[in-house]
Amino acid sequence: MSRRNAEIKSVLLRDGEVQVRVLSIGCAVQSWHVAGVPVVLGYANAEDYLANPYVMGTVIGRVVNRITGSSFELDGETFPLSANIPPHQIHGGHGGLAWCNWETQVIDEKTVKFSYSSPHLDQGFPGNVQFEVTMQLSGYELSYQMLAVPDRLTPINMAQHNYFNLMGNGDIRDHSLRVSAGLYTPTDSQAFPLGSIESVENTAYDFRQSRLIGNADPERLGHDASFVLDTSDVKHPVVEAQAINGMKLQLWTDQPCVQLYTAGALGQFAEPASGAVHQRFAGFCLEAQNYPDALSNTHFPSILYGPDTPYEQNLRLAISPQ
């Protein structure tokens, strides 16, 4: 059950000069302050996350990103899904994990554990699935440990969806970005993968060497596609970003892809948490995940998991002043 009418829990994680406020709705990061600087976008009121059209700050599932045609076939059976961008699905459907109220267990002042039981045919997906997300703050680093245990074979592909702005407000196109990826998944005009995996060379997605986001996209079209990482490396950061104030972001992941979204469609929905204007290029998302739209592109690696092969994701994000 969604528990949408249950009380929304708010937990403040603290360590040194870092404070991260998280909510039980979608495991959302409502605010993240480093040395007093707000480094993510959010909404001032927790209740606004019940709608949250931009899945701001949340953990997304059961399947992040797009599913062409809002259906898939598994073992000879077709499963129609919730189509929230008809005729397609994005970010888990109308009532996906990002809009659900999770059970909350505060472990200590630096750690919180969220859990959610997703029933069979939730948003159309087969199987009962037990989800857990543990978030832990350690110094400048926030880690996510995601676990999903289904009782039958089913697709799962989760991601965090924070909108980062290391300046606290303004245009993120003056942030520099480096991504350890020589390949990416090109998309059509609606950001649906074309099914190919191509070189980033001479594209807007070539961030093998650090470059300004704005210089990579001079026409202001926006980024919204997945990098195929050179390696899924939990020891070395596969993504680094930096703002002109010296604030630096690093990302480590065990997932094969990271979707870069530079908020080309972001608009004002509710009162912002930090006073930042929510508009195009006000934030950027780095969504560590498995291959996008893998249910429609069956030559991509499988996103199917079962009782003996549970889903796991380990993600670390560090934001620190230089």
CA atoms within 13 A on the CB side of 153: 10
Task: Give the helix/strand (H/E) hosting 105.
Answer: strand 103-108
Residue appearing with tokens 């407000």 = 169
Q: Could you tell me which of 13, 46, 99 has the C-alpha nearest to residue 271?
A: 46
Among candidate residues 91, 161, 223, 278, the one labeled active-site is 161
Handedness of CA 44, 50, 55, 59 (dihedral sign): positive
Residue appearing with tokens 């199917």 = 304
DSSP 157: B
Active site residue 287: yes
Active site residue 161: yes
Among candidate residues 88, 91, 278, 287, the one labeled active-site is 287
Handedness of CA 312, 29, 186, 92 (dihedral sign): positive
Q: Are 252 and 236 in contact (CB under 8 A)?
A: yes
- Bridge partners (DSSP) of residue 59 are 160
Alpha carbon of 89 to those of 82, 194, 275: distances in Å?
Answer: 6, 16, 31
- Residues annotated as catalytic are 161, 287
